[in-house]
Structure 1
Amino acid sequence: MIQQRQNFDWMLKELYDSVPGIEMIVVLSADGLRIARYSGDPDAADRVAAACAGLQSLAAAVAQELPVGNGEMKMVVVELDKGYFYLMAAGANAYLAVLSDIRCEPGAMSHYMRDLVLRIGEHLTSPPRRNGQTV
């Protein structure tokens, strides 16, 4: 896992440098554990990752109510008082989350996030866990 985190640094930095206004980028597992982060406080990144687990679960439950599609959450955008929060499915049991200020245009951000996920999606995965252990 340490090697994987080192490999993420340059990829997340590229996203950070491409879009003005990004405050924090977090890669997380479906169960809310931080896999990697770029910028921001590590404790805050852990809290964001944990909150994302609930948000992705909620979005997936709502998506299953649509009569078309497979019920999978692709992306959630939340407009905040002074910025935006983005959460995108990024691979098997993995997600990409970004917090930004108001300078960040949501259309541009979703484009850059989708591009990152398409280029490195197979690396943005987290194996399933059982009783806290990777299976």
Structure 2
Amino acid sequence: MSIPEPPTSTANRGLDWLLDNLVEKTPGVRHVLVLSRDGLKMCFTPGLDEDQADQLSAVSAGIQSLSLSASAEFGDGLGSGQAMVEFGGGLLLIVPAGEGAHLAVIADADADVGIVGHNMNELVEQIGTYLTAAPRSVAGGDTTS
């Protein structure tokens, strides 16, 4: 007699499953990546290889940095908005995803940006605590005050 396994919760399945789900349920989405504010990839969908994920992380961090600078100079200075870049053959959308993290999506050029953005924000609301990148500490730093 075998013991049945407990039902799998969202937390048990991990963030990878949730990213894959965004690709599956959103027409036109090709790749999803979670990155830290400073451009380090945290997790990504299988359609990206390691090098592509690193490059997408760097590009996304740069775009978010430019967006924050534009907000500081010409907007409200809060820098909590989204960024979108259209390029030949696709779109890159980036949204904040918790303290120190961003969610980036590569979509087809003809994808419905409203639906993609809505599903991205819905994912962030549902699992925002999983998409948080804690600030990195300095290794071997002095811990005395």
Q: TM-score if structure 1 supplies the norm length?
A: 0.86
Higher-Rg structure is 2
Report the AA paired with residue 45 of structure 1.
Answer: A
Cα RMSD, aligned residues only: 1.9
CA distance in 2, matches of 1:55, 1:65: 15
Cα drift, residue 131 of structure 1: 4.5
Would the alpha carbon gap of residues 123 and 58 (structure 1) be closer, same or farther in structure 2, given more than 3 Å must change? same
1:17 is aligned to 2:24: yes
Q: TM-score if structure 2 supplies the norm length?
A: 0.80
Mean alpha-carbon deviation: is it higher for 28-37 or for 58-67? 58-67
Residue number among 29, 32, 50 corresponding to 1:42 in the alignment: 50
1:75 is aligned to 2:82: yes
Report sequence identity in percent: 34
Kept after mapping to 2: 8 A contact 1:23/1:40: no
Which structure has greater strand proportion?
1
CA distance in 1, matches of 2:139, 2:111: 36
CA distance in 2, matches of 1:102, 1:67: 27
Cα drift, residue 122 of structure 1: 1.4
Q: Deviations over 1:86-120 (max 9, x none)?
A: 01100100000011112411111000001000111
Q: Deviations over 1:12-35 (max 9, x none)?
A: 011010112222110000010000
Kept after mapping to 1: 8 A contact 2:22/2:120: yes
